[in-house]
Structure 1
Amino acid sequence: MRCPGQDSRFWKPGAIFEAKCPQCGQSVEFFKDETSRKCARCGHKFVNPRMDFGCAAYCKFADQCLGDLPPELLAQRENLLKDRVAVEMKKNFGRDFKRIAHAGRVARYAEKLAVPVGADPAVVLIAALLHEVTPNGTPDPASTKAKELLFRLGARPDLVDEVCAVIDAIAHSSGQGSLNEQCLRDAHRLAELEEIVAKHPEEAEFQRETMSKDFLTETARSLAERLMRGEKV
C-alpha cells in the first residue's frame, strides 16, 4: 500500500499547482509529490515549496516513498528527526527533570559548537540528547538504548552508527577522538560549567586555571570564558 499523502487517488484540488522559479520568475508546474523541478526557461532546479516532509523524519519507507531527496530536504529531515529525538529523550527520563535539563544544556552547547568546530550537527546534537539515555543502575550502555530508539524513529542506519560510536567513545575513552567526539566532550564540559557557575560561582573561579586544558576546541574555550564572566550564552 502506498502512503495516502503521496497516492494520487487521495489527492484533493490543488495537488497540481504552479510555483515561480526563484531564479527567473518563470511559472513551473508541480505535482504535490514531486520533491523538486527544473525550470524550463533557465534550468534552475528548486525544491517543491508546498511539500510537507514531516513524515520523512521518522518513516522508515521515506526514501522509497519520496525518492532521492535534495540536500536541502535531507537537512530538513534530520532537523525533524532531532525534534522527535528530544521528545523521546524526555519520555525516557520521565519525571527526572534534572537529567532532562542536563541533556538539554549539553545539546544546546553541541549545537553552538558543531559548525564552528567542523563536526556533523545532526550526529552531535542527537548524541548529546541521548548520551545518558540509559537510566542509572542499568547495565546496558547508553548506545544500546540510543540505537533502539533511533531505529524505532526510522533514522538512517549510517546516522545511527555514527551517533552510537560517539556515545560509546564518550563513555569509554578519554582521548580527543573525532571532531564529533571533541564537540560532544566540550558541550558536556560547558553544560557542567554552567551548572557550577549557577550554583557555586566561587568554585567555578578555581576552574579558570585548568580551563584551557579541559576544553578541546577554541570555540568552547571562548564560550567558557563568557560563562565565567556571567554572560548568557
Structure 2
Amino acid sequence: MQCPGQDSRYWDANAVFEATCPKCGNSVEFFKDDVSRKCGQCSTRMLNPKNDFGCASYCPYASQCLGSLPPELLAKKQELLKERVGVEMKRYFADDFRRIGHASRVARHAVEIAAKEECNPAVVEITAYLHDIGIKESERKYHSASPKHQHLEGPPVAREILLALDAPLPLIDEVCDIIGHHHLPRPEESMNFKVLYDADLITNLEEKQKDTPSPPAHLQKIIDRSFLTKAGATLAAKVLLKG
C-alpha cells in the first residue's frame, strides 16, 4: 500500500507549488511528492520546503518509498536513533537512577569530545548510552559487575536493543565490539572507541571525586597519562580541575 501522504488521490490544489531558489532567487516548481529538485537556472538542488517526511526518519522502508534520502533526512534518522537508544537505556535500567545518570553523563561528555575529534558521532553517543548495559545480567548471573563480566554480557543486550530499533548492522557490530572491551583498550583502537573511553573515564573520575576528592596535582597526573584523545584530556581538565 502506498503511503497516503504520497498518493496523488489524496492531493488538493496545493499539490503543485513554486519555491524560490536560495542561491539565485529563481522560481522552482515542485510537486507535493518531490523530495528535491534542481534549480533550472543555477542547478542548486533544493529540498522540498513544504514536505516534512517525518516518517522517513525512522521507517525502515523509507528508501523504497522515497528513493535516495537527502542528507537532511539521513541526519534526522541518525538523531532519532540516538534519542530512541537513550530512551531504551532508561527503560532497561528502570529505577536504577544511578546507572541511568552515569550513562547519560558519559553520553553528554562523549558528544562534547566527538565534536572535536574525527569520529562517528552516532556510534559514539549510542555506545555511550549502552556501554554499561551488561551490568544487570552480570550481577544476576555472577553477582558481580566486574569488567570481564560486563564485556561478556553487554554486547548481546545491546544487540537486541539495536535490532529492535532497526539500527544499521554495521553500526550494531561496531557498538557491540566497543562495549565488549570498553574498559580495556587494544594496541590499535578506532577514534570512536577512544572518545567513548575518555568520556567514561571523565565520568568515573567525576563520580569518584564527589565521594573521595583527590588533590589537583593527582588529577593532573591522571589526565596527563590516561586519556586517549586530546579533546578528552582538555575536557577532563575543565570538568575535574574546574579550569
Q: Under a length normalisation based on structure 1, what TM-score does the superposition of the two structures give? A: 0.87
Equivalent residue, structure 2, for 1:63: 63
What's 1:227 paired with?
Answer: 239
Residue 208 in 1 paired to residue 208 in 2?
Answer: no
Structure 2 equivalent of residue 160 of structure 1: 172
- Label 1:149 to 1:229 Cα distance change in 2 as closer, same or farther (>3 A): same
The answer to whether the 8 A contact 1:34-1:48 is kept is: yes
> 1:197–1:204: 8 Å Cα contact kept in structure 2?
no
AA of the residue aligned to 2:206: E
How far residue 109 of structure 1 moved from its aligned partner, in angstroms, is 1.0
Query: In structure 2, do the counterparts of structure 1 residues 68 and 13 end up closer, same or farther at CA, with 3 Å as the change threshold?
Result: same
Residue 2 (structure 2) aligns with: 2
3-state SS of the aligned residue for 1:136? helix
Pick which of 17-26 and 93-102 moved more. Answer: 17-26
Cα RMSD (Å): 2.3
Classify 1:156/1:4 alpha carbon distance in 2 versus 1 (closer, same or farther; 3 Å): farther
Identity of aligned residues (%): 45
Equivalent residue for 1:191? 203
The change in CA–CA distance for 1:11 and 1:98 in structure 2 (over 3 A counts) is farther
Contact 2:110/2:124, CA 8 A, preserved across alignment: yes
What residue identity is the alignment partner of 1:230?
K
The letter of the residue matching 2:192 is N
Classify 1:147/1:11 alpha carbon distance in 2 versus 1 (closer, same or farther; 3 Å).
farther
Match of 2:104 in 1: 104
Deviation, 1:101, is 0.8
Aligned AA for 2:106? Answer: V
Deviation at 1:148, TM superposition (A): 1.9
Bigger radius of gyration among the two:
2
Q: What is the distance in 2 between the residues matched to 1:33 and 1:125?
A: 33
Distance 1:208 1:152, change over 3 A: same
TM-score by length of 2: 0.84
- Structure 1 pair 93/51, CA: closer, same or farther in 2 (3 Å)? farther
* Distance in 2 between residues matched to 1:199 and 1:13, nearest whole Å: 66
Q: How does 1:72-91 map to 2 (within 5 A)?
A: 72-91=72-91
Choose 3-12 or 207-216, whichever is displaced more. 3-12
Distance 1:192 1:11 in 2: 56
Query: Secondary structure of 2:49's partner?
Result: coil
Is residue 123–residue 163 contact of structure 1 (8 Å, CA) maintained in 2?
yes
| Pairs within 5 Å for 1:44-63 | 44-63=44-63
Equivalent-residue separation in structure 1 for 2:172 and 2:5 (angstroms):
27
Contact kept in structure 2, 1:176 and 1:216, CA below 8 Å:
no
Deviations 1:46-90 (A, max 9, x none): 222233243233321122122111223212221121111111111
Gaps of 5+ in 2: 142-151
Whole-angstrom distance in 2 between the partners of 1:177 and 1:109: 19
Q: 1:148 to 1:54 in 2, by over 3 A?
A: farther
Q: Which structure 1 residue ranges, 5 or more long, are not aligned?
A: none
With over 3 angstroms needed to count, the CA separation of the structure-2 counterparts of 1:190 and 1:158, relative to structure 1, is same
Structure 1 counterpart of 2:98, which letter?
K
1:116/1:41 Cα in 2 relative to 1: closer, same or farther (>3 Å)? Answer: same
- 8 Å CA contact 1:176, 1:182 repeated in 2: no
SS at the partner of 1:24? coil
Instruction: For residue 176 of structure 1, report the CA deviation from its aligned partner.
Output: 5.2
**Cα distance in 1 between the residues matched to 2:205 and 2:13:** 55
Separation in structure 1 between the aligned mates of residue 54 and residue 210 of structure 2, nearest angstrom: 37
